[in-house]
Amino acid sequence: MEETAATAAVLLIGDELLSGRTQDCNLAYLGQRLAARGIRLAEARVVSDEEEEIVAAVRALSGRYTYVFTTGGIGPTHDDITAAAIARAFGRRLLADPVAEERLKKYYGADALSAPRLKMATVPEGSALIDNRVSSAPGFRLGNVFVLAGVPVIMQAMFESLQDQLQDGAPIRSRSVTAPLGESRLAEGLADIQRRYPDVGIGSYPFVRASRVAVSIVLRGTDEARLDGAATEVAALMQTLGIAEADIERN
């Protein structure tokens, strides 16, 4: 696929994702929403709640991609260490942010600002706050790193509040062509289409439906006409294999 201007990485932070206790759904959400803005999500990592792991991953990803989005570890408990790790990754001090404190005071009440709650107003020096319309405790941005909550509904609200901070590119669109065929029967024709459409990313995703093998061919790129051209060729290829009319789904 043609390289778009902006790239991104996602860093999912939390033991619960690696133990299998929690099924992540933040990665798929961010992948879809970034593609819609023309930002290619190039890599993701999942690390445990260990400061050295977070520091190393943030440094590696921040140097390599336009944007890094982290999720998780910004709550009030002892296992929430993301802010400290980001501060260390960039050699910054952790500071109490008065605006964040004000928001927490409004949410919890002035008398109820305990030390754990105040911890959620502590961010690396030089950070810009990211709004949390759900439960007030903010995320923050430092350089090209956006630090978001792990709870999906909060993460999503935070991400959506960032829209004007992210560079726009041509949205990455897709077409899907699905048929009850084994993918190996399509492989040679598909490779030929891929050669002639180097600007379109073509993926083949087999699945089983009602005990029958089937495949979705997914085409991704920024040029709608080229996508339609390649998708039409995939449908025609399926027709040569006995599929009367393959549906082309546009996304």
Q: Is 208 helix (H, G, I), strand (E, B) or coil?
A: strand
Binding mask 31-70 for a second copy (x = CB under 8 A): xxx-x-----xxxxxxxxx---x-----------------
Exposure b/e, 46-77, CB count within 10 A at least 16 = b: bbebeeebbbebbebbbeebbbbbbbbbbbee
Q: Which residues 169-208 are close enough to bind a second copy by CB under 8 A?
A: 172, 174, 183-188, 190-191, 194, 201-208
Tell which positions 93-122 bind a second copy, by CB under 8 A: 108, 114-117, 119-120
Asked if 220 is part of the footprint of a second copy (rule: CB under 8 A), the reply reads yes
Q: What is the 3-state secondary structure (H, E, C) of 19-77?
A: CCCCCCCHHHHHHHHHHHCCEEEEEEEEECCCHHHHHHHHHHHHHHCCEEEEECCCCCC
237 binds a second copy (CB under 8 A): no
Contact string (CB under 8 A) for a second copy, positions 144-173, x = contact: -------x-x------------------x-
Residues 6+ apart with CB under 8 A from 197: 219, 221, 226, 229, 230
Considering the complex, state which of residue 126 and residue 203 has its C-beta at the smaller distance from a second copy.
Answer: 203
- The separation between CA 183 and the C-alpha centre of its own chain, rounded to angstroms, equals 28
Q: Which residue has the tokens 């709650």?
A: 117
Binder to a second copy among 5, 25, 128, 236 (CB under 8 A)?
25
39 vs 86, which CB is nearer to a second copy?
A: 39
Closer residue to a second copy in complex, CB, 30/130: 30
Q: Distance of CA 151 to CAs 33, 40, 132, 229, 248, Å?
A: 17, 23, 11, 40, 35
Among 13, 39, 65, 75, binds a second copy (CB under 8 A): 75
Q: Which of 2, 6, 16, 248 binds a second copy (CB under 8 A)?
A: 16
Stretch of residues binding a second copy (CB under 8 A), selected from 75-83, 86-94, 156-164, 241-249: 75-83
CB 205 within 8 A of CB 220: no
Q: Which residues bind a second copy (CB under 8 A)?
A: 14-25, 27-33, 35, 41-49, 53, 75-80, 108, 114-117, 119-120, 135, 151, 153, 172, 174, 183-188, 190-191, 194, 201-208, 213, 218, 220
